[in-house]
Structure 1
């Protein structure tokens, strides 16, 4: 069998996933473009491959029309908004993912971004590089109200890590409130509007679906305190990027940290804002977590070739979400 590896980087820090493929007799080709592949580029190159070890490129019906040999999509990561799951199922293409591997790294980056925003690190860095010396008053986590939207694998890890910084007020919002989290943590389940209005900093940890696309617009941002901040390390498109720029340009909000964008690589006006911290979709890019993601996705390919059951097939609940939308 032949595998196309589209996600980048791949096996850059650890070549073990490639050794796994070789050991299983799977021929492979790594993304020849060295960047995120477009839908049409993927459609043009996938025809001869049985397995796709995938990143965030669009895997649509158009792509599958040209993928006559495709039998498995093994997603390096957890987000599935780029995969047409029902089209894959209709064509009997199995889909696997690596749901737990990226979570620790994304949670830790979120904490780093959170501290940077509360203490105005991006703005101070920009000012010093510009020859200006200004000392900014900031807030400590323990004295802040932190809002978390989405308490899944990553949001829950962020919640746990916040306990190390004292006793901030923590407001949370999720479609399925978890009584066990209420028992273990001092949290308040609130409506989104309350969370927007009362938080000093909001961090987002929800999947991208038609329901969450543009979930946060100018109206929601203007509900927030004038000196509040917001973090998106989940999926691009959840915050309307133009609305965020307009609101911040007007002087509302003290900062934002954005790791994910609707179109990547990002080129847009947020880059002109000194208090907007931008990172290049690096949430999962710790050596250990990235290596684990690549290895787990490759192991699924090997299991498939060997006729074994997949360890992390995409659950029915993910298909149900796409069907409902």
Structure 2
């Protein structure tokens, strides 16, 4: 009997996964491993793992030779060493098409909260200050430009929402090549420098990898338009948070909205939380009741496809090519 284990998952239940696995007659377990050592000790003989946080690299793949597939809960897979997985013949998959509308909606909500200064004026109004002039200046959306970094499913969905409100939209993607002609028709392709220099709002939607790590740092943030806003609903690590704080404190940037940070969770007293010009939400952009169920269902189905010998839908690496098959 094939074995599919959930090695670490902080969800409240595995109802969707259980239904998928039981209907297929595979052995499954819901584990709560906190370290690689616990995964190695508890997952011997497994064929596929559903993984959320624990680092998946050579140590895991070498110690569990039966393991041939890892499915990551979510879009990002920066906790999985793809080179190691490929070398050991482990197929890695993610779920790139769940929660697309939720993340795009959340980015839009954050953007409007920033440019309309909703969080600031609500705080003042609660104190009894009934004065719209506290928000001056606010500018009309049709006069503003939104720059999108990363124009995959979510970035493109965000672009459609922003364009519907009258904003001009330009974009850059770290993995895009002009020759491929794959850039969305309704987004003007420009260089990273142009996105930074021309945008009144910059919204980050690319994955965290070797191309995007620390992409927005002291140098690149310094190229942003004075008074611009920065939004990140993708991954912490793409934005240098110290550089961002300095840019806001120096009034080079007007503010930022972050759903993700490099080290989560933030705790009370963190400089990011203490900054009144930064809106912070707790890595929730992906969430709705529907998207949560969709993620769990698709993770389970992807692992099941692999152990049944069927083509996976969301491969990250090509194990067959790497092994010369």
Answer whether TM exceeds 0.5 for this pair.
yes
Does 1:52 pair with 2:52? no
1:266 equivalent in structure 2: 266
Partner of 1:169: 168
Is 1:95 the counterpart of 2:92? The answer is yes
Matched, 1:62 2:59: yes
Q: 2:291 is matched with which residue?
A: 289
Superposition deviation, residue 223 in structure 1? 2.4
2:206 equivalent in structure 1: 206
1:110 to 99, 102, 107: 107
Distance apart, 1:234 and its partner CA = 1.1
Q: Does 1:252 align with 2:252?
A: yes
Report the CA distance shift for 1:214/1:127 in structure 2 as closer, same or farther (over 3 A).
farther
Q: Contact 1:70 / 1:93 at 8 angstroms: preserved in 2? A: yes
TM-score by length of 1: 0.84
Give the total of aligned pairs: 311
For structure 1, which segment, 138-147 or 204-213, has the greater mean C-alpha deviation from structure 2 after superposition? 138-147
RMSD after superposition: 2.8
Q: Is 1:229 matched with 2:229?
A: yes
1:11 Cα offset (Å)? 4.1
Deviation of residue 131 (structure 1)? Answer: 6.6
The 3-state SS of whatever aligns with 1:263 is: coil
| Aligned mates of 1:140, 1:53 — CA distance in 2 | 46
Unaligned runs of 5+ in 2: none
Deviation at 1:38, TM superposition (A): 5.0
Deviations 1:268-308 (A, max 9, x none): 32011122111122121122222112111101122233333
Report the 3-state secondary structure (helix = DSSP H, G, I; strand = E; otherwise coil) of the residue aligned with 2:121: helix
**Structure 1 residue 134, shift from structure 2 partner:** 5.2
Measured after TM superposition, the shift of residue 216 of structure 1 is 0.8
Distance in 1 (alpha carbons) for counterparts of 2:25 and 2:8: 19
Contact 1:122 1:274 in 2 (8 A): no
Which blocks of at least 5 consecutive residues in structure 1 are unaligned? 321-325
**Secondary structure of 1:254 counterpart:** strand
Structure 1 residues 246 and 16: alpha-carbon distance in aligned structure 2, compared to 1, 3 A threshold: same
